[in-house]
Amino acid sequence: MLNDASSQQAPLPFPDRPVLFFGGKGGVGKTTMAAVAALDMAARGRRTLLVSTDPAHSTGDVLQAKLGDRPRQVAEGCWAMEVDPEREADRYIEAVKSRVESAAPPRLLGEVYRQIDIARVSPGAVESALFDRFTRILEDEGDAYDRIVFDTAPTGQTLRLLSLPELMTTWIGGLIKRRRKVGALSQMWKNVAGSEATDLDNDPLLRALEERRDRFQEARRILTDPRRTAFVFVVIPERLPIWETEKAVEALSKHDVPVGAIVVNLVLPERDGGAGEDPFLAARRERQAVYLARISQSLGDWPVLRVALQDSDPVGVDALGRIPVLDTAVLDTTEEVVR
Say if CB 41 and CB 70 are below 8 A apart.
Answer: no
Does residue 188 register a pLDDT over 60?
no
Residue 339 pLDDT grade (very low, low, confident, very high; cuts 50, 70, 90)? very low
For the chain, how many residues are written? 339
Does residue 211 register a pLDDT over 70?
yes
Residue 44 pLDDT grade (very low, low, confident, very high; cuts 50, 70, 90)? very high
Q: What is the mean pLDDT of residues 207-234?
A: 85
Does residue 230 register a pLDDT over 50?
yes
122 vs 314, residue with greater confidence: 314
Lowest mean pLDDT among 97-101, 124-128, 180-184, 187-191: 187-191
Euclidean distance between the first and the last CA atom of the chain, given in angstroms as a whole number = 41
Q: What confidence score (pLDDT) does residue 231 get?
A: 94
Q: Could you tell me whether strands 147-151 and 19-23 are parallel, antiparallel, or unpaired per DSSP bridges?
A: parallel
Residue 124 pLDDT grade (very low, low, confident, very high; cuts 50, 70, 90)? low
Q: What is the mean pLDDT of residues 257-278?
A: 84
Instruction: Enumerate the H helices of 15-142 as residue ranges.
Output: 30-43, 59-63, 85-101, 109-120, 125-141
Q: Can you give the C-alpha Rg of the chain in angstroms?
A: 24
77 vs 210, residue with greater confidence: 77
At residue 76, φ and ψ (nearest 5 deg) are -60, 120
Residue 263: beta bridge partners?
Answer: 234, 305
For the chain, the domains span 4-85+140-159+224-310+319-338, 87-131+166-219
Of 40, 59, 43, 41, the closest CA to residue 51 belongs to 59
Residue 331 pLDDT grade (very low, low, confident, very high; cuts 50, 70, 90)? very low
Of 96, 91, 93, 90, the closest CA to residue 204 belongs to 96
Does residue 319 register a pLDDT over 60?
yes
Residue 174 pLDDT grade (very low, low, confident, very high; cuts 50, 70, 90)? low
Residue 224: beta bridge partners?
Answer: none
CA pair distance 46, 58, nearest whole angstrom: 23
Q: What confidence score (pLDDT) does residue 333 get?
A: 40
Q: What are the pLDDT digits (tens) for 274-312?
A: 567 788 888 999 999 999 999 999 999 999 999 999 888
Q: What is the mean pLDDT of residues 228-232?
A: 95
Q: What are the pLDDT digits (tens) for 69-109?
A: 999 999 999 999 999 888 888 887 787 778 777 766 777 77
Catalogue the E-assigned strands of 141-202.
147-151
Catalogue the E-assigned strands of 162-258.
229-235
Does residue 199 register a pLDDT over 60?
no
Numbers of helices and strands, H then E, in the chain:
12, 9
Q: What confidence score (pLDDT) does residue 19 get?
A: 95
CATH topology of domain 4-85+140-159+224-310+319-338: Rossmann fold (3.40.50)
